[in-house]
Structure 1
Amino acid sequence: MDEDVAMMDVDGQETPTSTSNSQWVAPPASPQDLSSVWTAENSTQQRIIQFITRWPPSRTPFAYGPWIYASRGGMSEGIAGQDIPGLKAAFQALLGAGRVTVDTVDQISKTNNVVTGKWMIFEESPKIDMLWGKILHFVTVERKKGVVKVSTCKEGEKHVICIYVNDYTNKPEVDALRKGLRSLGVKWRIGFKTDAYTHLNIYKDNPWNLRPSRFQE
């Protein structure tokens, strides 16, 4: 999932050269501090407030790490058994045969069990902290499963929040998550990208004319 940083078009951009700016929160003791595991026992309003207060995306610089993570579980099914090398080898075969299409990429994704994916929400820094708090509460308390992450602050760029599903071919799951995001106020059009597309470097203006977002709603 860390490869998602590439889809933000941040390659080649400078990271903050200093973390002494008064707007930044104190640095983590280790990069792992930006990750959190949530359970039925610790998914409380108090802990959510503590976590977003400690790591508000708008005041956590990219230099600390590209992402702030939260895992509520339930993703092992989608991750277990993924064959990334097999996916890439199958994609090379498609390239050789000139058969790169949405359907053929879907087929090799399913064959190699690389079917996780995420809805992606882009937002400006002044609005990101409140939206992140709502989505963190939704995943940990209401949905009670899943992985969600938000990008840290990089000057001149929007933040992105990624909310994952186990299997993008399970359209009811994909649609249910989108419905939940609408209930939080995310009513504008957003894109859903498969992890397979990320692993295969299928981004904007790719040579196969594939839309980077598998779904847009």
Structure 2
Amino acid sequence: MADYEDEQTRASHFPAEDYAAESMAADMDPWVVFDARKTPRAEFEDWLDTYRPSRVLRQGNPNNNMQPIGWIAVYGPDFTPEAGRVSELQDDWEQLQASSRKIDFDTVRELALNHGVLSGKWLMHLDTGFKVDHAWRQVAACVLEGRAGLAKVSPFSSDSDKHVICVYNCNFTDEEKVMELDAAIRAAGIKCQLSYKPDVYTYLGIYRNNRWHLCPTIYESKFDLECIPRRSRIINKVNNMEVN
């Protein structure tokens, strides 16, 4: 009987739920933040050197009285936090799942619009060490110059040799603005593959390998080194069409 129950539990559990729990834990732990709205720019380079992602420990260090660090972030000079009505969104999400209504991108988009949860981010996954430290410096400078409102990077974790950098904009439903943010990231010197994820997916626990079989990102950007002038080739993953 116990073995049967264990099998049932595994069958009803999806990896996306573990990723969501990890993300929530990181959000709740303290962040290291450079806030360009109130911190002098003269301190920026020293801050970057002090808090290189590859050298900041996610778990902290009890021997040195260092607490866990969730994220390292830069707030731009015009950054204004706008989360929307997240608790109401999640309540309606529970009701949607209990209904017989189909769950797809359009229904989630509708929920996001109804509750003003419209922000999203371009994501990049990079190896620890020089690669992530260098890319983070470029992205953080982009935010400091006001070309993006907020960016964050995960610190080093003993569980992974990868970091994620997130660069935010305020409206995932405005394709033109999403493309403008991609262009700003590319202009900062970033050439790796990018994926774009609406924050509504994060709040609802929609990560890869989720129970609703939704792709957790809605755009994919690959930098075309052979194209003149060089530019991103971006695919809308909802309709599998290239964005021009």
For the aligned pair, the TM-score class normalised by the smaller chain equals: 0.7 to 0.9
Equivalent residue in structure 2 for 1:53, among 42, 49, 52: 49
- Corresponding residue for 1:182? 186
How far the C-alpha of 1:7 sits from its partner, in A, is 4.2
Deviations 1:168-217 (A, max 9, x none): 11211111110111223333331111111011111111121110012222
Q: Which residue of 2 aligns with 1:123?
A: 126
Unaligned runs of 5+ residues in structure 1 are: 1-5, 12-29
Residue 149 (structure 2) pairs with residue 151 (structure 1): no
Q: Could you tell me how far 1:121 is from its partner in structure 2?
A: 1.0
- Decide which of 161, 167, 171 is 1:163's aligned counterpart: 167
Deviation at 1:92, TM superposition (A): 2.1
- Structure 2: gaps (5+ residues): 1-17, 24-28, 61-67, 222-244
Give the alignment's TM-score, normalised by structure 1: 0.78
What is the Cα-based RMSD across aligned positions, in Å? 2.4
Rg comparison, structure with higher value: 2
Contact 1:115–1:169 (Cα < 8 Å) also in 2: yes
CA distance in structure 2 between the aligned counterparts of 1:65 and 1:35, rounded to whole angstroms: 11
Distance 1:8 1:122 in 2: 17
Q: For 1:1-217, what aligned pairs fall within 5 Å after superposition?
A: 7=19, 10=22, 31=30, 34-39=32-37, 42-43=40-41, 46-62=42-58, 63=60, 64-76=68-80, 78-79=82-83, 82-95=84-97, 96-126=99-129, 127-141=131-145, 143=147, 145-155=148-158, 156-217=160-221
2 CA distance for matches of 1:141 and 1:7? 32
TM-score (norm 2): 0.70
The answer (yes or no) to whether the contact 1:7–1:198 under 8 Å persists in 2 is no
Q: Is the Cα contact below 8 Å between 2:118 and 2:198 reproduced in 1?
A: yes
* Bigger RCO (CA 8 Å, 6+ sep): 1
Q: How many equivalent pairs are there?
A: 188
Is the partner of 2:89 in helix, strand or coil? helix
Q: Which has the higher strand share?
A: 2
Query: In structure 2, what is the Cα distance between the partners aligned to 1:165 and 1:116?
Result: 6
Give identity over the alignment, percent. Answer: 25
Secondary structure of the structure 1 residue equivalent to 2:35: coil
SS of 2:145 mapped into structure 1: helix
